[in-house]
Structure 1
Amino acid sequence: MSASRRRRLMAGALTLTAALTASACSGGAAPQADANTLTIMTKLHGTAPDPKGELQQAVEKFLGKKLQMTWVPNAEYTDKLNVTLASDDIPQVMVVDPKLPAFVRAAQAGAFWDLTDKLDKYPNLKPMDQRTALNSSVNGKIYGIYRMRAALRSAVILRKDWLKKVGLEEPETVDDLYEVAKAFTEKDPDGNGKKDTYGLIIPKWPGNYASSSPYDTLETWFGAPNGWGERGGKLVPGFDTPEFLEANRFLKKMVDEGLVNPDFATLDSAKWNEPFFHGRGGIIIDVNVRSRQAFDLFRDDGDKNYGDKVAMVGNLKRSDGQKFSLPFTGYLDVLAISRQSVPTEQDLDNVLKTLDKLGTKEGQNLVQLGIEGRNYEVVDNTATLINETDPVIRTIQDNADDAFVQLSFKGDLDIGGIAYPRTPSGQPYKDTLKLQNELMAEDLKTAVHNPALPVISPTAVSKGGQIDTIIPDARIKYLSGAITEEQLKGEIKRWYDSGGTQVAAEVNDLVSKLGN
């Protein structure tokens, strides 16, 4: 999307939200929302469920409402959000990144309900963790119900069979990572006699800087701040540090040597697993649950030895042995409620009561796991999957995994939530889930937290469309060889000159006031 297009959409959003604020305060002139239907727009990471399918029907029956779902592929979600905000047809509930400038601008202008003092009245919507609620806020104001996630999920997924073939151990340091990637590229790990593999698989990342991308993870391993960090007594963005440059020199070396998939700037993130499964690449830096997805692919292909195909390690050490782990925010997106389509307090109460019911243990199990007795049974306080290879049952489970899980906001028991953790029947899954929890606990000891998470500066909101893409775009250009390191530094300076200097000043000021 062009910059001029973005500016037009933002202008439209401002006009719209001003009108919404006026209508919301005009003495109840706005019509009531349909109390029997809940309209939701959310991200999609797989195939859109059939609106008449078994899982959607089960969710509707449980809630006592019809669901009108708008599923948007993850890579297209930000653009779709901008278009929707500028339209006159905003769904009642939108799953959204609460720090996205377009959303912040709209929320602060009145397009979304301020829920700061409202959620405590609903037992299943009351924040389970006040710090996470603050992290997901906009300078202390809560504009959405945060979707709980593990405090630390970053990991490295590898082709276990390839490691055995090239005679290497699982990596512990970034130097080990380089050696594994080099061997996966040059030592014919698939045994077909051709040089047609590479090590690291990176997709086109839909998020901006500090969005838990593989780039952000690697930069943290090198000691760069996670988003923002203290340098010289003040907070600075992580990309304005020597460690950021060192990490990207390292990654550029891998790109230049052909150790990274050549289409890293364009590979659809929805197809991230495909090179791994089809034997073209052997390393993924992402969240730990991707190991389970990899197991699924091999198992569903009929590979009885699927457990021998996938290995997982946690965050890697720097060359000097120091370890800096990338934590998560504790949340992933929020469920925000539109004041255009939910215009009155009565309408809001109706929507919040519906979400409160969804926030029960039964509701969260349904959207995270599927249908009890059909998809899973409860054994030792975990969800053991039933007939995993049955195509109908598997379709329901896939929809729970890839689609309706977007409506899960209370997490599972493994991360302090309420839903049953999923335990597939195969021993490799059970071993990996145990390893996952062990790695999370260990890496939390070296987690690099972002002190600026709860705040967003006014300049970042007003100029986000112009400056947010400067760093991620420059990083890709640098890694691709389109610009030099000096030009990358020049782009960092351009970020400051285009409003970043004011952003940094405001972030420091806002963080200093958090405890006041």
Structure 2
Amino acid sequence: MRMRRIAPIAAAVAGALVLTACSGGGDGDGDGGNGGGDGAALESLTIMAPYFAEVPPESDDPVGTALSEVAGVPLEIQWVPNSAYGERINTVLAGDDIPDVMVITGKDQGFVSTALAGGFWDLTEYLQSGDYPNLVSENPDVELASGVNGQIFGVYRARDVIRASVILRQDWLDNLGLELPETTDDLYEIARAFTEDDPDGNGEDDTYGMIAPQWPGGIGSNSPYDTIDVWYGSGNMWRDDGGELIPAFTTPEWREAVEFERDLVQNGYVNPDYATMDPATWNEPFLNGDGGIILDVQSRATQLADLFEQQEEGSAADKVALAGQLSGPNGTFALPTTGYAGFLAIPRSSIQTEEQLEQVLQMLNDLNTTEAQNLMNHGIEGDNFTVEDGYAVFNPERQDFTDQVTGAWAQLGMNVAGYNAYPIQPRTEFLGELGDLRLQLQDEDLANAVFNPAAGLVSDTYTTTGTQLDNIIGDARIQYLAGQIDEAGLDEAVERWRTTGGDQVTTEINELYSQLG
């Protein structure tokens, strides 16, 4: 693998970790890691993790006690407010009091440089050995994407791989005699009908088809436009073209998709304030009967159904419909997420021998059991929840404790081999049916998922300028949809992307891609 230039701050962090590891580390005292320099077996496991709850768990928290029993050693958790977590990571890595395991929330420049400099254990062979069955990923594409240039430096925290969906007003479909869409052409016709054919039957021209908010990010941010791009076969950020990766927005299929999106906008089938609408108000036009289609994650359908139920019990089944991927003119493709939200990494300065590493991996393996998943996500059975008909039912009198569990201990959940904790009891029968449909669509659409082949590759240039580069294309797309620029203007944006760092990113990404084998 070619040598990488380490930025000054990142180099200091990497150097601190590597030098600490070489010096023999601490003696196990204090709040840091417990590996020690003598290679002795760990008598406890220190983990640094973020929390989202109002307050972190107490030291004698019953969930922590139960998880310690599962792991076989006391767990000492260094809880950090999520709002301050990124800063704390840099502070801890630059010091000499390093925990045994760290939740890393993103592959920023500091982490990547530190990992490639030897500051974290490369877990690739260990995780693929099968010695830790609960750490064997059920989706190798996601595990590869969580890594750095083919090396896996942490056990990733799994999230739904398939989330993109089409959410529609069921009553409008029924009023117009329309079925759920199966293709992008179907979607276009429904958007037209929802705009022009009086779907609410009030005799007024006061509805539109698709609801799209201002999207906070450029290309590759899982926007409704990215979903349509993938449906058209553009690829997901990058596409393998004969063994070479090319940007998805340089493909003919991407241009076809943008033309489709432009037609929707120019014909008035999208809310007129699509470029400025506050994403926080995305549900309102759907609930109020102004618009009838949302392209977003499946969980929004559940959220909308629950809001309708709060307005009128039993109304959601008549108001909310859910469809998965749509076939485009060039085939059937589904947009996946990255499939993970950070990972648990093991610093070499705390865990210094292979024997200690194997001990930690066995603990993490045990913390991925069904028992541990229930503890991390639900808490203590018989206290804050009970099990009824296979569902977790929470005790309302213990809601504060339940919120603390899900806002803190769940952040340690990896679930890479699958999520097996009890499902939460749905509030209504329809919400349960919608939950089952989500799982069905996830299984069906996963077969056509188009993963970003460069997701696990770290380009130096992209690390420093990626946001600006993505926004060049994202902004140009919005301008093109609005008619503010023509095809020549779109071409100019692509050329600006190339000359301001895009070509260098492409070169670096392909150098790394060629080394994956």
- TM-score interval (norm. to shorter): 0.7 to 0.9
Corresponding residue SS for 1:93: strand
- How many residue pairs align between the two structures? 483
Matches within 5 A, 1:246-265: 246-262=256-272, 264-265=274-275
Q: Give the gaps of 5 or more residues in structure 2.
A: 1-6, 34-43, 69-74
Q: Which residue of 1 aligns with 2:24?
A: 27
Q: Tell me the residue number matched to 2:72.
A: none
In 2 relative to 1, CA 442–358 (structure 1 residues): closer, same or farther, beyond 3 Å? closer
Are 1:105 and 1:461, in contact at CA under 8 Å, matched by a contact in 2? no
Deviations 1:477-514 (A, max 9, x none): 44455544433322222222233223323333433332
Q: Measure how far apart 1:261 and its partner are.
A: 4.2
Change in CA separation of 1:322 and 1:462 when aligned onto 2, cut-off 3 Å: closer
**Deviation for aligned residue 1:146:** 1.5
Kept in 2, the 8 Å contact 1:13–1:85? The answer is no
Letter in 2 for 1:181: A
Distance 1:223-1:124 versus aligned 2 partners, 3 A rule: closer
**Cα distance, 1:304 vs structure 2:** 2.0
**Residue 241 of structure 2 corresponds to residue 239 of structure 1:** no
Match of 1:107 in 2: 115
TM-score of the two chains, using structure 2 as the length reference:
0.76
Superimposed CA distance per residue, residues 245-292 of structure 1 (whole angstroms, 9 cap, x where no aligned partner): 221232233334444345545656566445434544432223334333
CA change 1:82–1:72 in 2 (3 A) is closer
1:171 counterpart (174, 181, 188):
181
Closer, same or farther in 2 for the Cα pair 1:89/1:328, shift >3 Å? closer
Deviations 1:184-225 (Å, cap 9, x if unpaired)?
345555567766654333345456533433222110111211
Please state how far the C-alpha of 1:375 moved relative to its aligned partner: 3.9
Aligned sequence identity (%): 41
Matching residue of 2:41: none
For residues 103 and 94 of structure 1, the distance between their equivalents in structure 2, rounded to whole angstroms, comes to 11
Q: Are 1:325 and 2:320 matched, yes or no?
A: no
**Residue pairs, 1:45-444, within 5 angstroms:** 48-51=52-55, 57=61, 59-64=63-68, 65=75, 67=77, 69-70=79-80, 72=82, 87=91, 93-98=102-107, 103-109=111-117, 112-116=120-124, 124-186=134-196, 189=199, 197-205=207-215, 209-231=219-241, 234-262=244-272, 264-265=274-275, 272-318=282-328, 320=329, 322-329=331-338, 331-337=339-345, 339=347, 343-345=350-352, 355-369=364-378, 371-373=380-382, 374-375=384-385, 377=387, 379=389, 383-386=390-393, 392=397, 405-410=410-415, 416-422=418-424, 424=426, 426-444=428-446
Q: Which moved more, 1:220-229 or 1:454-463?
A: 454-463
Using a 3 Å threshold, how does the CA distance of structure 1 residues 274 and 427 change in structure 2: closer, same or farther?
same
Secondary structure class of the residue paired with 1:239: helix
SS in structure 2 at match of 1:410: coil
In the other structure, the counterpart of 2:3 is none
Moved more, 342-351 or 297-306: 342-351
Shift of 1:459: 3.8
State the distance in 1 between where 2:170 and 2:295 align.
Answer: 15
Q: CA deviation at 1:360?
A: 2.0
Unmatched runs of 5 consecutive residues or more in structure 1 = 1-9, 43-47, 74-79
Question: Which residue is equivalent to 1:3?
Answer: none
- Write the distance in 1 (CA, Å) between the matches of 2:251 and 2:402: 44
Residue 460 of structure 1, aligned match among 450, 462, 483: 462
Change in CA separation of 1:290 and 1:399 when aligned onto 2, cut-off 3 Å:
farther
Residue 405 of structure 1, CA deviation = 4.9
Residues 246 and 106 of structure 1: is their aligned pair in 2 closer, same or farther, counting only changes over 3 Å? farther
Q: In 2, Cα distance between the equivalents of 1:429 and 1:474?
A: 39
- SS of the equivalent of 2:490 reads helix
Distance 2:444 2:145 in 1: 23
Distance in 2 of aligned mates of 1:12 and 1:483: 41
- Cα 1:469–1:177, aligned 2, differ >3 Å: closer, same or farther? same
Which string of whole-angstrom CA distances, capped at 9 and with x for unpartnered residues, describes residues 405-436 of structure 1?
55432168xxx543344452633234334433
Q: Classify 1:326/1:491 alpha carbon distance in 2 versus 1 (closer, same or farther; 3 Å).
A: same
Look at both structures and tell me which one has the larger radius of gyration over its CA atoms: 2
Per-residue CA deviation, residues 353-409 of structure 1 (Å, 9 max, x unaligned), is 764453221221233455545445263xxx42437xx75567777777787655432
Deviates more, 1:306-315 or 1:267-276: 267-276
RMSD: 4.2
Deviation at 1:165, TM superposition (A): 3.5
**Distance in 2 (alpha carbons) for counterparts of 1:444 and 1:159:** 25
